[in-house]
Every structure is written in structure tokens, then in C-alpha cells.
Amino acid sequence: MGRPFYLTTTLPYVNADPHIGFALEMVQADILARYHTLIGDEVFFNTGTDEHGLKIYQRAIEEGKDPQAYTDEYAAKFRRLKEKLNLHPDLHFVRTTDPDHKEAAQEMWRRCLAKGDIYKKKYKGLYCIGDEMFLKESDLVNGKCPNHPTMDPIEIEEENYFFRLSTYQDKILGYLHRESSVVPNWRREEAIKFVERGLEDFSISRDKARLTWGVPVPDDENQVMYVWFDALTNYISTLGWPFDSAQGKPDDFEKYWERGFTLQLAGKDQVRFQSVMWQGMLMSAGLKNTDRVFYHGFITSGGQKMSKSLGNVIDPIAIVEEYGIDALRYFLARHVHPFDDSDVTMGRFKEAYNADLANGLGNLTARIITLAEKNLPEPIQRPEAVGFPKEYTDAIEQYEYNRALSYVWERIQKLDRRITEEEPFKLVKTNPEKGRILIAECASELYAIVRMLNPFMPEANETIKKAILENKKPPNLFPRKE
């Protein structure tokens, strides 16, 4: 039995179509889910949709829809990503409007309350609807939220419940001082600095007079939960927490969250939510902290943030429709930096597609299988499944997808060179026996290379392996694009 491995993306808000940044996080997570499955771990892979909060409520009203109908529509769009991005077959999908999730959020609340970490107070502050959070004076840039320079923060005064995050300052620091808690390491240092500046308690509910769209606060009919408090709980509600055992079902929470290794993926702007706020909530509820959070960078296009008005939006679904799913997955893994911001243009995408996929992998596959089909009397034996090279596994386990694929492409180039230098197409005429041995060796090496594509390009992995074992040239996987 493999080791239990849990991983989750953040849940996107359902107020827009899936964008390339989320596709990046989804593909990065899926590569790990497939990799861990491949090496024999038992994987629990979670994603879903974050559906409460003022921003979503307002958008639904603007569109003249009932909030539940509005979120149903968007949740279905995000659910379709499973097919569009060819995600792991066992992907779990949690919606924060699911009844089980809402009950879990309420249980989380009750536990924090029982611990003495929830209290009520009058509060006045500036609220950014874009981020669904109160801003501190020190956050403001020219009086606006730094993430939303075109939106005016709104002044809110009301009586809310607060969570005693300040109580957990030292404990959270202790957690962040574990080297493995955050990847990359400089993001961990950033988190430590953020906590060292002092943690403030934060409001975790909203007055129903202002917002009804949320999980009801237990035993207070006038308040709903702050969207973050509810949404963060999804990471464990998806595992059936806290109800599983009572229902006598296998306890995924115990298996994956408590005994397994837990990994969360998130964008670089999420540090204070995922590595601070959520960890404080877990501590308060007496639950194990997340083992590690991996933060990716942002994608810009042509040096600017993508926007409809600039016309530089890169639509992941349009790429999939024109170039195929593996082309998108490949590009996000190899040519987008796993941790830093990356700039992506369609020009750069096409260049990489033609060079690495059409001319590289596609061409090599056609070359070798054509030779094999013509000259080998029967298909090669399935090569024995040996372990993967350390260069490759180390890179993936450090989330350096670009490095893992550079290694795979070095092997592709090396094999290409071997064919050019040793000319099996000529050798097979002058010395058929030696020629056939060389062709079979090239086919085995291609098989070994393609095995390593399993987590990254599941379709190419299957198609090429099958073609080698059937000794039959596959359809052109990556037609050149002009």
C-alpha cells in the first residue's frame, strides 16, 4: 500500500470564467496527482468552487439571477475543466454551497467558539469587495486596495464576530519556521515577516441586514459567516470531516489529513489566507496543520496584467481547442516558471509548440515508429518498468516541472542525434540484423522517454506507448502550425 497523499488547489470564486492563472494551478496540481499515483501513492485530489460572499452576491443580482442559480451555472463551467484539461479521473470537486460543506463550516465555527477564540465586537473599517477582506491603513495605496486600484474600498460599521488570530501568533511562527511548510522558501520568509509585524484578530461574520448569501452562523440568526472562514474549511470538508466516522464510512480525513502528507497549491497573493489564517483556524479547532503550501507566481501577457480592454487575454480553453490539451499542459509546465511570475504571449506559445512538440517529440516519434513498422517483423517487447531517473523525480518532487521536462527533452535530443549519427535507415539495408537491433533500441528508448510524460502529457504518453507496442505509426500528434 502506498503512502496517502492529499493535495488541493484553492477554490476559485465563481464570478468569472476559468482563466489561464487557474489553469496553471490546476495543471500543476494534476501533474503531482498523476505523478504520485504513478509511483504508487494513494492520492486524494481536491478542487471545487468558492460560491459565497458579497462579490458573488452582487454579480448574481447584476445579472438578474438568484445567487444559487448563478453559482450552479459557474460551478458547472469549472466542473467541465476536468474534461477540458484532462484531469486525474479521481478528482474530487467540492462546492461551498454543498450541504455537507456548510455543516462542516458550522462545526469548525463551534470548535473555535468552544476554544474561546470567537468573540463579538463593534467594528468599523474599509472593506475591499474584490478581495472580500477588510483593509488595514497600512495596506492602502492612494487610499485604494493595492490589488484593486480602480475600486473604492467601502466603509463598513457593524457588529461582527471576530476570530482571535492574534493568540496564535507564536504558534503560527513556529509552524512557518518548519522549512517544509512553504515552497518556495522566499515565500516562507515573506510569510514569517508578515506574521512578525503582528497578527490582528479578524472579522469572521457579516450582518444579515447587509448580506444574506453565506453559511448561517450557528445559534445567531442575524449573522452569516465571512466567506473566507467558510471557504477555507473546504480543504477538510471534502474529506468528509467531521461526519465520516459517525456514518461508518472509511475515514478519509483520518487517512489523508492526519496520517498522510497534505499539500495545498495557491497563488502568491494567498499567503496570509492559506499559511496564516487557515493554519490559525486549524490550531484553534485542534486539527493538524497543512504539511506544505506551494505558491505559484502570476502570468502576465506582453508585460501587462491580462485584461479584456488590453486585448491580451490568453484563454486556456481556446488553446486546448486549437492545439490540444497536452500542448497546453506542456507549455504551462515547461515554459511557465513554477514559482516566479511569467510572461506568456501567443507568439511564444506557438514558437514552443512548433519547436518542442511538432519538431521535437512529434517528429522523433514519427521517425522511429515509421522505421520500426517498416523493418521490425514484430513489435518490441514492453520494456521492463524500471524506476524513474533521479534527475526527473527530484525535479518533480521539488515542483520544478520545467527542470523535469528539460531533462526529458535532453533525452529526446540525444535520441534524435543518435539516429542522425548512426543512420539506422541505412544500416538496415547494409546489415539488416544490426539495423533491426538499433531500431529496436531506439524504440525502447522512446518508450522510456514517453513513460516520463505520464504526469505531464497523459494523452501523448498513452498514444505513443500504444503505437510502439503495436508497431503502428500513430496519427500526427502535433501538426506544425504556421
Which CB, 269 or 470, lies closer to Zn ion? 269
Burial class (CB in 10 A: 0-12, 13-18, 19+), 337: middle
- Closest distance to Zn ion from the beta carbon of 133 (Å): 7
Question: Residue 125 interacts with Zn ion (CB under 5 A)?
Answer: no
Among 130, 379, 383, 389, which residue interacts with Zn ion (rule: CB under 5 A)? 130
Q: Are the CB atoms for 262 and 45 separated by under 8 Å? A: no
Q: Which residues in 134-173 contact Zn ion (CB under 5 A)? A: 145, 147-148
Interaction between residue 405 and Zn ion (CB under 5 A)? no
CA distances 321 to 77, 84, 339, Å, are 16, 9, 27
Beta pairing, strands 261-267 & 292-296: parallel
| Rounded-to-integer distance, Cα 424 and Cα 219, Å | 78
Shortest distance in whole angstroms from residue 153 CB to Zn ion: 8
Q: For residues 242-281, which are near Zn ion according to CB under 5 A?
A: none
Between 148 and 411, name the residue whose CB sits nearer to Zn ion: 148
Compute the distance between CA of residue 118 and CA of residue 388 in angstroms, rounded to an integer.
Answer: 50
DSSP 76-127: HHHHTHHHHTT--TT-EEEETTSHHHHHHHHHHHHHHHHTT-EEEEEEEEEE
Residue in 128, 217, 325, 464 binding Zn ion, rule: CB under 5 A: 128
For the bound state, the minimum distance from the C-beta of residue 151 to Zn ion, rounded and expressed in Å, comes to: 7
Torsion of CA 238, 239, 242, 246, to 10 degrees: 120
Our CB check for Zn ion shows the closer of 130 and 389 to be: 130
Q: How far is the CB of 162 from Zn ion (least distance, A)?
A: 20
Report whether 325 contacts 84 (CB < 8 A).
yes
Restricted to residues 34-53, the positions that interact with Zn ion (CB under 5 A) are none
Single residue of 107, 131, 252, 326 touching Zn ion by CB under 5 A: 131
Question: What distance lies between CA 85 and its chain's CA centroid?
Answer: 12
Integer-rounded Cα Rg, in Å, for the chain is 25
| Shortest separation between residue 193's beta carbon and Zn ion, angstroms | 21
Q: For Zn ion, give the closer residue by CB, 200 or 397.
A: 200
Residues lying near Zn ion in the complex (CB under 5 A) are found at: 128, 130-131, 145, 147-148
